[in-house]
Amino acid sequence: MTTEQDILKLSLTEIEAGHVFLALGMIREYARNNGAGVWQDEFDSISRDYELMLEYMERGVDDPEREKMYDRIRTRLGHCVRNMMLESKIKSSPFYSEAYAKALGRTIETESLRNMLESFVGEQAMTGLLAEEEKGEKMREIYSKHIGEMSRLFHSMIISPQWTATTSEQMVKILLSPTVDSYDAQLLVSAITIAAINHEDEQKIVSLAEIYRLSTDENIRQRALVGWVFAMAIYGRQTDVVTDMLDDDNVLHELADMQKQVMFCLNADKDNQLIQKDIIPELMKNQDLNITNFGIIEKEEDPMEDILNPSAADERIEKLETTMHRMEQMQKDGSDIYFGGFSQMKRFSFFNDMANWFWPFFIEHPAVQETLDKIGRADFLNNMLAFGPFCESDKYSFLLTMKTVFERLPDNVREMLQGGYEFGNMVSETEKSDAAYIRRMYLQDLYRFLRLNIHKKDMRSPFDNENAYLFLANETFHGNKSKDMLPQLALFMHKRKIKNGFVVFAKRYIDLEQDVLSDNFLHIASIYYYEYANNAEKATDILRRAWYEGRLENDKVSLKMLGRLSLLCGDFDMAATCYHRLFELQPDNNKFALKYGVALMKQKNYSKALEILYRLDYEQSSANTSRAMAWALMGEGKLEQAQTVYRKLTSGEDSVPEDFLNAGYCQWIMGKTNDAVAMFVNYCETTSSTNMVLDSISKKFSKDSEMLLSNGIKPIDITLMADIVEKNIKGKENTFFAD
């Protein structure tokens, strides 16, 4: 931000604080040094009005309207300063300079705007009276002129000065009018959004909120929702109309859904990396086309493949279907799977006009007509553009790309496309009209514009501002009911591994609900303190308190967490209690049964643990069950049985280093010292700890000393065994026994 902008911004802070006289002095100094442009007269008028108000008060005049007049002066002064800031941006910012140049001097006058929009609809209707050939030419002429007018209007909206309440009301009426084309209204809502998120204007935000509240056209409504949410989150200013809406359950549901969709947009790069690394290579392996400098040609079939590997073709098809299904599932879950590919297709001159990023796709757009004249109206393209799962700007990108490559495609591929070939999953009419789908596609359009437009560094993006992209945690959105959305959003962030999102929503929710031990609070607080705040003790205390108050009796999520934490902190009685209750709730859940068995072992209740583990081993044998059972047998003194289990574990393909360590304990307790040493050496070599043998094995012996000591192994034996293991690994030549 320039020094000029800093001065004006500081004056706004003083106005907000009620220091109007100080702010007037700062602005006067700014105007003296930099000029106030067309806003000089307005500033002088505000200064005179304020000085006159002060003068009347000094005279002791009692004016019952003084407070209202003061508020009006503050509002006028704030508007004047923001208009000065905008004028400064137009001079210094490439983004605003381009908008100013492309507006071609057009200003926002609501009456002329209404006439222009309604005239366009009327002109279209009149073409119905013309002959078919003449109608086509006339429609092209009408749309060519209209697209140019709308572009100028779009850019003029971006540089429009502060709106009054009257301007806002009139604009809302125009964009809600049934006599205005929906596509025009959608484009202008996007223009207001770009204007509002880049330069604060309360009445633009109000107009977007009112359009969202009153519109019956879901496409217009969802664009308006995105606009007022982001603008309000960026500037932290809540309006009366929004305050009322935040108590509406339907609005809150849409806000929560939008919050999740925004996070999927932010995850676009990560999803693209996954697609490029895992999915695309698999698709390329199975393609039947080669891309060369001369175009795309078919691969020749391998005549020997049917003989040497007759199932190869079926295997390739199966892999291809699995890969495609994985990609489709990502999209179904909400991922922006096309961002990576289409981000490379935004360099066409078409996108040099900012308005073109936000036009809903329609066949009459001059750029579309020009492309179709070249490649024809293939059924494939009609299906793709009408029902393809792409945001609007990607549809334009796709068509423009087809224009550049169509002539290089093999004849049979072009014939296939002309014949109506379907590309992946198409979107049904029902889904296309769904509010969530419309909003998701629009968010992708907005994300592409703010990420890929040539002025991206010059614009304010809500996707780069945590207060904006985590808007429901923003204080501006706090209402009587909005806190009800926090639990589901926190758990969504946790499930998606979005750390900063979870932390923000969890902390906000915990602060609000810390005295209410609800299920949601227990789940979120325990996850937050244990996994994110590195405070297992705090998480355990919260869950213990809930347990003793009788709140966890049937809460499986909290019982699992408390059991896990209790094992970690050594409270084996509580761990056994938790897993016993879980085992009671779900006696067929083998994971709960195994955890219960482990907790019993930690209590040294080996006989009870073995009852559980024997049943588990009989019903569904697994390596983990065998490990627990072998340890319990060793604790119970049934060493021969334990040895049998350990032999099976150490010889199996799914053995782990600890199997050799524990098998060594068993051999040692049985008096088979040499066999024990061999097992310990194997453990050290497997864990790559041969460079620090003594330290590594000593720590393990210390950790498991209770089992060793209770079975007759003496402390001195433990010390000496560590030395023996080190000697066997490093060799006699490295010890003091060497000659």
- pLDDT for 38-93, tens place per residue? 999 999 999 999 999 999 999 999 889 999 999 999 999 999 999 999 999 999 99
CA distance 548 to 538: 16
Contacts from 6-9 at CB under 8 Å and sequence distance 24+? Answer: 8/81, 8/84, 8/85, 8/88, 9/85
CA distance 204 to 193: 8
pTM summary value: 0.84
Q: How confident is the model at residue 413 (pLDDT cuts 50, 70, 90)?
A: low
Q: How confident is the model at residue 293 (pLDDT cuts 50, 70, 90)?
A: very low
Q: How confident is the model at residue 421 (pLDDT cuts 50, 70, 90)?
A: low
Would the pLDDT of 379 be above 80? Answer: no
* CB-based contact 203:211 (threshold 8 Å): no
The dotted CATH code for 570-641 is 1.25.40.10
Q: How confident is the model at residue 418 (pLDDT cuts 50, 70, 90)?
A: low
In total, the chain counts a number of residues equal to: 739
pLDDT in tens, 509-547: 998 887 777 889 999 999 999 999 999 999 999 999 999
pLDDT in tens, 574-592: 999 999 999 999 998 999 9
Between residues 738 and 589, the one the model is more confident about: 589
Write out the DSSP string of 97-156: HHHHHHHTT----HHHHHHHHHHHHHHHHHGGGS-HHHHHHHHHHHHHHHHHHHHHHHHH
> For position 194, what pLDDT does the model report?
98
Nearest to 189 by CA among 229, 243, 146, 161: 229
* CB-based contact 395:361 (threshold 8 Å): yes
> For position 133, what pLDDT does the model report?
83
No. of helices (H) and no. of strands (E), the chain? 40, 2
Would the pLDDT of 411 be above 80? Answer: no
* CB-based contact 360:188 (threshold 8 Å): no
